[in-house]
Amino acid sequence: MSVNDNDFIRFSRQILLPEVGEAGQVKLHLAKVVIIGVGGLGTLVAEYLAAAGIGKITLVDHDRVELSNLPRQLLFSEDDINQNKAQVTGLKLANRDKSCELLAITDKFSVDNGEDILAGCDLVFDCTDDFNTRQAINLACLNHAIPLISASVANFSGQLLVVDQVSSPDSGCYACLFPSELIVSQSCQTVGILGPMVGVMASMQALNGMNFLLGVNGPLGKLLRFDGREMKWREAQLNRDHNCPSCGQTSAQSQANL
């Protein structure tokens, strides 16, 4: 497969990068990704990936657009209120990036439907703001050996975690960082947030996703935290907890099934 003349012009600026080139652009076109949670983070990640030439994007969200979403979910307008977020995002991006295949799933991600949703995908983006859903996404990705890029924002703080225990067996997963028995009540409905903070973390999520698909080294096994007040990034090593109920039980089996 090669890049056609139209795509060569359209994606010329990123093709100029030695890390991309024509071969890298083909990789992006062949990539299949799943974005779970199509709100502030998810819409921006989807926009960046579709614009970059990703071949297929599956959008998963059961939620509907609300007026309070608009300051940080820039793809939506008042005309979209009460409509499903995944469907609205899919329609808008399909009109803008016609070469990208977009699939909208209006069900909430769970352990019951996770296997079907993730089937055949190369990379998963967790853009949700629900702790239990994050745990379900983490476990599903571990069980099927699918790399995961998880991001979240609260107040002036953002965090990013890239989980790929096939490439980095000793690195930790989301449950190593936040055990499933931990009680977490924070969400965008209960915590203040500024729109640009979401933009920072969504950009980092999309950038790390593209780097991964292109084979560019990324922060595997590291937790990145951004302080929006001090404008500082902090990095911490996250090692795998062999007693973790998620990756401690599934990592060896997942790799054996590859």
Task: Provide the annotated active-site residues.
Answer: 188
Phi, psi angles (nearest 5°) of residue 91: -65, -45
Alpha carbons 31 and 11: distance in angstroms, whole number:
16
Would you say 135 and 180 are in contact if contact means Cβ atoms under 8 Å apart?
yes
Alpha helical stretches, state H, 101-170: 114-118, 131-143
Q: What does the angle CA 226 – CA 218 – CA 204 come to, to the nearest 5 degrees?
A: 40
User: In this structure, which amino acid lies at residue 91?
Assistant: L
Would you say 85 and 39 are in contact if contact means Cβ atoms under 8 Å apart?
yes
Alpha carbons 35 and 52: distance in angstroms, whole number:
15
Alpha carbons 235 and 190: distance in angstroms, whole number:
27
